[in-house]
């Protein structure tokens, strides 16, 4: 055990390869299906949306995939990111646990999202892509892609969930500062957006709707635009593995090894980024680290959803994957300010949860913001509301260790800062946030709308 607080790597320690969990997964992947025919997707089908390099990464079973030097050079703007022992939080809690956090909020966009936005923009650039479409919920992904598009001179068009567009105006300004166009979804710019507005002019939007709009624009552009996704898909989770690979080295510097690794989950990218390298150590080297995914009770896909095939978007244009889902028509309540709003979960993460290789829990909104401010007052960083879900679970683990008199080493991913999320904090401080638990009967009702692929399930 070290008496240091900050564990810093040099540029020379920046990972040279991404780790691909597909190489070591004990779970056979379920097929990915076309939404129109329910047949397995082909590279030609995916090529409408993605450049071929990313398609090949999506299906690769190579354990390590080399990071292009052009990507590593931009990574060096903020990577390696620091690992910090939260000594002041430990003292405030009076816990016997040791708490560490990986601070991804030091990136130019303020979150972990550039770890995949930069390579996605790079591969699109070398493929000749001129413009990218995407969706964003809380705005972190849109911010990261706007930044990456700027670096590689690619136009970016962002469909931002309307309730977030309203709640987080400075996220929009951030994106526009890097020349991205930002639209409140649902919009009147797409056929699907117009159909939603016709049935509900006051629709707050959802990630599923925003994905549908971004996919429609790319798919109908005649090849002029491609689509970029910030979570869920294998290549996205793989790009995030730099987080966990660095953390392994930094825990060595601390002369400790985590008993539990924690990350918040919406689609699964930042959790996978920190957890999958530790899962490799569990699978290959006999480690016993618990891997805990934390989601909001307002969007509890792992803890209340069904593990089945579902569409990736509301309009049924994106591929069908097997995942934990609340139903592709899911719209989170407007009172939910904590992000993590997607209806489903990454297929690989879903499979690992189904087989018991990872754990999951759902936490309530007010308790999440309570933990966020407790962390901020101790450590001096106001976290993104998404990251606060991981903090809530880390504090709960530390208090459990205290009650049991155990020394427990806890590592969590601080996936972003909350400097653009003051509206949510203001609502919490003024007592305007409410707890909300997504009803199980709503999930049950949504199952009637699933694609009929029971033979493959």
Q: How far apart are CA 204 and CA 215, in angstroms?
A: 19
Token reading at 435 = 């707890």
* 307-336 pLDDT per residue, tens: 999 998 888 888 899 999 999 888 777 667
Rg (CA), the chain: 20
Q: How far apart are CA 303 and CA 324, in angstroms?
A: 9
Q: Kindly indicate the confidence band of residue 457, based on its pLDDT and cuts at 50, 70 and 90.
A: very low
Please provide the average confidence, as pLDDT, over all residues in the chain: 94
- Higher-confidence position of 186 and 45: 186
Domains and CATH numbers, the chain: 6-13+73-110+239-449 (3.40.50.1100), 17-67+112-234 (3.40.50.1100)
Token reading at 217 = 């624009």
Q: What is the mean pLDDT of residues 384-404?
A: 97
Q: How far apart are CA 248 and CA 293, in angstroms?
A: 18
Burial of 427 (0-12, 13-18, 19+ CB in 10 A): middle
12: CB partners within 8 A, 6+ apart: none
Q: How far apart are CA 72 and CA 249, in angstroms?
A: 18
* 257-274 pLDDT per residue, tens: 999 999 999 999 999 999
* 2-44 pLDDT per residue, tens: 789 999 999 999 999 999 999 999 998 899 999 989 999 988 8
pLDDT at 330: 85
421: CB partners within 8 A, 6+ apart: 138, 168, 337, 382, 384, 385
């Amino acid at each position: 055990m070290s008496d240091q607080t900050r564990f810093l790597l040099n540029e020379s320690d920046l990972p040279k390869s991404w780790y691909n969990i597909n190489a070591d997964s004990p779970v056979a992947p379920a097929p990915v299906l076309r939404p129109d025919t329910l047949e397995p997707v082909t590279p030609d089908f995916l090529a409408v949306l993605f450049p071929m390099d990313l398609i090949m990464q999506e299906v690769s079973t190579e354990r390590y995939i080399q990071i292009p030097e052009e990507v590593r050079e931009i990574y060096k703007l903020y990577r390696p990111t620091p690992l910090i022992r939260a000594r002041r939080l430990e003292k405030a809690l009076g816990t016997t646990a040791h708490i560490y956090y990986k601070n991804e909020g030091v990136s130019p966009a303020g979150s972990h999202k550039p770890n995949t936005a930069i390579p996605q923009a790079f591969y699109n650039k070398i493929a000749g892509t001129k413009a990218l479409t995407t969706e964003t919920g809380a705005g972190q992904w849109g911010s990261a892609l706007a930044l990456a598009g700027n670096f590689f001179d690619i136009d970016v068009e962002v469909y931002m969930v309307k309730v977030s567009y309203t709640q987080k105006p400075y996220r929009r300004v951030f994106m526009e500062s890097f020349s991205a166009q930002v639209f409140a979804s649902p919009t009147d710019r797409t056929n699907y957006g117009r159909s939603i507005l016709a049935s509900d002019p006051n629709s707050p939007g959802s990630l599923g709707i925003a994905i549908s709009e971004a996919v429609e624009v790319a798919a109908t552009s005649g090849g002029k635009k491609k689509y970029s996704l910030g979570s869920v898909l294998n290549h996205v989770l793989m790009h995030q593995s730099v987080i966990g690979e660095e953390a392994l080295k930094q825990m060595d510097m601390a002369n400790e090894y985590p008993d539990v690794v924690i990350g918040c989950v919406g689609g699964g990218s930042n959790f996978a980024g920190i957890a999958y390298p530790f899962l490799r150590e569990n699978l290959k080297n006999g480690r016993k680290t618990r891997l805990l995914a934390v989601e909001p009770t307002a969007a509890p896909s792992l803890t209340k959803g069904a593990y089945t095939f579902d569409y990736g978007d509301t309009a049924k244009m994106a591929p069908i994957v097997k995942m934990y889902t609340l139903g592709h028509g899911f719209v989170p309540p407007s009172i939910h300010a904590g992000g993590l709003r997607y209806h489903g979960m990454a297929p690989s993460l879903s499979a690992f949860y189904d087989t018991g290789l990872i754990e999951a829990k759902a936490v309530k909104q007010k308790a999440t913001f309570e933990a966020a401010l407790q962390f901020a007052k101790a450590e001096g960083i106001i976290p993104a509301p998404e990251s606060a879900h991981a903090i809530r679970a880390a504090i709960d683990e530390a208090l459990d260790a205290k009650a049991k008199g155990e020394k427990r080493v806890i590592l969590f991913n601080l996936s972003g800062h909350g400097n653009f999320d003051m509206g949510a904090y203001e609502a919490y401080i003024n007592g305007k946030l409410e707890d909300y638990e997504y009803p199980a009967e709503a999930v049950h009702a949504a199952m009637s709308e699933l694609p009929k692929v029971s033979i493959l399930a």
